[in-house]
Amino acid sequence: MPADDHQGRQDSDDTRRGTGDPYARVDYRRMIAWQQRIAREGPWLLELLADAPDRSLLDLGCGTGEHVAFFAEQGVRAVGLDSSASMIDAAGEHEAAGRGRFVLGDALQAAQVLGDEAPFGMALCLGNVLPHLTDDEQLEQWIAALHQVLLPGGLALVQLLNYGRLLEGGQRYLPLNFRPVPEDQPGSDRSEIVFLRLMRDEGDGRVLFFPTTLQLDPDADEPVRVVSTRRVPLRAWLEDDLRQRLEAAGFTVEFFGDMTRGPFEPSASQDLVFVARRD
């Protein structure tokens, strides 16, 4: 369909769902090389699951559902929860194929939203979801909700960017991602989708994040076109912020620097990853 028709349809979808979905036009399924990512992370994920009190998993902020699908394919009862209607719509393809179940809802109300499906032996919160909680009260509510949805001895694996390193170094952007243009979108054979993620330090632990999708067509008269762009306020949670609150809520916690259990180095690690066990 023409680009303006595609945009009009998406705008109509956004209107029906409400305009509070900042990722309605960001295609995260195409943004990430999921096959390679799951192959890299899978061994540790399964090792953690083997140490959990039950073979059940909840993904808080599941996005398009690839991690839930991975666990479901291992015979795990796997459920994804996300507050973005567009993400749950995309994840529905996995549910239709029998690869997990997906629920639209707020992670701060996870126990109430999920009802009898909780509690779980393990939880995930990956891909920089946690910084969307922008104040201390929200973070504490999220930790309390996590405690509610885990069985005693249950594990939570959480990943976010290492904002200490980013802010200390004045970094303003994340690496670019390039993907082929989907077949149903206009463009030449050499067209690419470019995912651009800019950041601005607002001080006092506040960060503005600007996820932007571009289309690059070297054969077009205007070779670069903005497909979508958003302004998303984030909170740059640091190791000390998280450790103090998790331990106060009844978790033991261990920090890592990546999703393969590398050590956390505050000035060097790209990510801040932790495993929290409910006492």
CB 99 within 8 A of CB 73: yes
Q: Which of 182, 81, 63, 172 lies closest to 123 in space, CA to CA? A: 81
Q: Is the pLDDT of residue 132 over 70?
A: yes
* Of residues 199, 269, 209, the one with CA closest to residue 238: 269
pLDDT in the model for residue 18: 37
Q: Taking 60 as the threshold, does the pLDDT of residue 142 lie above it?
A: yes
Q: What is the gyration radius of the CA atoms in the chain, in angstroms?
A: 19
Would you kindly state where each structural domain of the chain is located, as residue ranges? Answer: 32-161+237-278, 167-235
pLDDT at 31 over 80: no
The percent of residues in the chain predicted with pLDDT above 70, rounded, is: 88
For the chain, helix (H) and strand (E) counts, in that order, are: 9, 12
> Is pLDDT at 9 greater than 70 in this prediction?
no
Which residue, 158, 149, 160, 145, is CA-closest to 48?
A: 158
CATH of 32-161+237-278, one of 3.40.50.1100, 3.40.50.150, 1.10.3720.10, 3.70.10.10: 3.40.50.150
- The pLDDT assigned to 17 comes to 34
Helices (H), 51-181: 66-73, 85-96, 110-114, 136-149, 163-168
Mean of pLDDT values over 222-248: 96
Per-residue pLDDT at 111 exceeds 90: yes
pLDDT above 90: residue 21: no
Residue range 178-228, pLDDT digits in tens: 988 877 677 778 899 999 999 999 999 999 999 999 999 999 999 999 999
Q: For the chain, what is the mean pLDDT?
A: 89
Q: What is the pLDDT of residues 148-182, one digit of tens each?
A: 999 999 999 999 999 999 999 999 999 998 988 87
Question: Can you read off the two tokens belonging to residue 112?
Answer: 């109430």
- What is the predicted pLDDT for the residue at 14? 38
For position 224, what pLDDT does the model report?
Answer: 97
- 89-97, long-range: CB within 8 Å, 24+ apart, which pairs? 90/29, 90/63, 90/64, 90/65, 91/62, 91/63, 91/64, 91/65, 93/65, 94/65, 94/66, 94/68, 94/69, 95/65
Q: Is residue 94 scored above 80 in pLDDT?
A: yes
Predicted confidence at residue 27, as pLDDT, reads: 52
Return the H-helix or E-strand segment holding 242.
Answer: helix 239-248
Report the C-alpha gap between 245 and 264 in whole angstroms: 19
- In this prediction, residue 113 carries a pLDDT of 97
Report residue 259 as tokens: 């999703």
Report whether 210 contacts 231 (CB < 8 A).
yes
Instruction: Give the separation between CA 154 and CA 73, rounded to whole angstroms.
Output: 21
